Amino acid sequence: MIDTNVDRRHDNSDKWAVTKDDDQLLPMTIADMDIATPQFIREAMQRVLNKKVLGYTTPSTGFYNAIIRWQKTHHDVSLKRDQLIIVPSIAVGLSFVIRNLTQKNDGIIVMSPYYPPYRQLVVDNQRQFVEFPLVQREGQYVIDFNRLDAVMADSQNKAIIVCNPHNPGGCVWTTTELQRLQDIANAHHVLVLADEIHDDVAFSDNLPVSMLSDLMGSEAASQTVLMKSATKAFNLAGVKCAFLAVKNPALLATLKHAAAAEAIEEVNTLGVVATQTAYEQGAQWLTEVNAYLEENRNLAYEYLRENIPMIRPMYPEGTYLMWLDFMAYDLSDDELDEKLRSLGHICLNRGIDYGQTGSGFMRLNFAVDRDVLKDALQRLKAFDTAVRKK
Ligand SMILES: Cc1ncc(COP(=O)(O)O)c(C=O)c1O
């Protein structure tokens, strides 16, 4: 059922665009998959095309029910239809929430390293970007809760973005960590913007808990806006369909009003069909894909640890992203990027783009055919051998 036989070189893929200048380069970058979007989703979209008209669409009850059922079954999140707001993407949704639930100059706390567009979405909306560095313990990121408490106690800071699983670190925050974070946020009246776009890519040793999960208790819901889509797990980033979920009636009313004012819920016909189909029919496919990704993760992690000890991988508890520490090579960020390309013929995402804490790191996307992953690991080995000879 998993189809890794895809050639994205000649379409408009962001990831593969680098090969137009250098066709020897292997990109292991942007967070989508070189795995075919499932056939049953493409067929559902085709059925819409076969009807020959792509006019205005209103999402059906079935669409909302698919989201509600998925979130309940897979994430223990109980939602009602009127608690959902449909948006084109998480980026658009996050910008919309920042603009409508915070004021100019408010501080938005962002754990660093961070998904790079967060900075732009905060700063270009004239809010303060309050970088909160994660701390490394035994090679994995942890949250320094004493510092977080101090940062949240600053009355200028009104919201925190919580990315779970974390991009780029691959961390799945534990229930205890999330509850602690929630308690501190509630105590200081800080809004929690929960970016859970990666939470369906889950491995057998670590299941992400949603900030809106019933497990988190009723308190959890009071200050949280959940942001989610089917796009990461089902490889649908181009269909532009995501949703916000809000339980607090006052926050919900503000956002519903703003959604009407901005006409933000105008939906993409094919995005709605793809999302509904993914959630209605995708559980089995996703189980298989996650098992495949888990094997890829294990293979890459073990290979690097055994064969290239100077590259220190963080263990991805979730996501298909591996965060690699290259500091042992003592190269600048520019040199590292250049040498990976020229000596290894491989392109990774530059860690420095994820904030200052990302300096010396690179991010590798392992959602690819296993042979391509093995090729990528050989290229990292070639880089390692060549750079150490010099
Ligand atoms: C953590 C995180 N949030 C949001 C996004 C972007 O989502 P969207 O394409 O829906 O804006 C990504 C994409 O890589 C991501 O990794």
Whether 290 and 254 share a structural domain: no
Provide the pLDDT confidence category of residue 154 given band limits of 50, 70 and 90.
very high
Q: Is 32 in the pocket of ligand 1 (CB under 6 A)?
A: no
- Regarding whether 90 and 234 lie in a shared domain, the answer is yes
pLDDT, position 222? 85
- Claim to verify: residue 192 and residue 298 sit in the same structural domain: no
Residue 25 belongs to what domain range?
15-39+284-385
User: Given the CA of residue 91, which atom of ligand 1 is nearest to it?
Assistant: 11
Q: Is 173 part of a structural domain of the chain? A: yes
**Residues 114 and 197 placed together within one structural domain of the fold:** yes
Please name the residue whose Cα sits nearest to atom 7 of ligand 1: 90
Q: What is the average pLDDT score of the chain?
A: 96
Q: Are residues 275 and 146 in the same domain?
A: yes
pLDDT for the residue 96? 98
Same domain, yes or no: 190 and 218: yes
How many domains, the chain?
A: 2
Does any ligand 1 atom lie closer than 6 A to the CB of residue 159? no
Residue 26: give its domain's CATH number: 3.90.1150.10
Q: Which atom of ligand 1 is nearest to the CA of 92?
A: 11
Q: Are residues 319 and 222 in the same domain?
A: no
- Checking if the pLDDT of 390 tops 80, the result is no
pLDDT, residue 121, reads 98
Question: Is the CB–ligand 1 distance for residue 231 below 6 Å?
Answer: yes
What is the pLDDT confidence band of residue 78, given thresholds at 50, 70 and 90?
A: very high
Let me know whether 83 and 166 are in one domain: yes
* 90 pocket-lining for ligand 1 (C-beta < 6 Å): yes
Alpha carbon distance 54, 128 (integer Å): 41
The model's pLDDT over 263-277, given as tens digits with 9 standing for 90+, comes to 999 999 999 999 999
Pair (245, 340) in one structural domain: no
91 in ligand 1 pocket by Cβ < 6 Å? yes
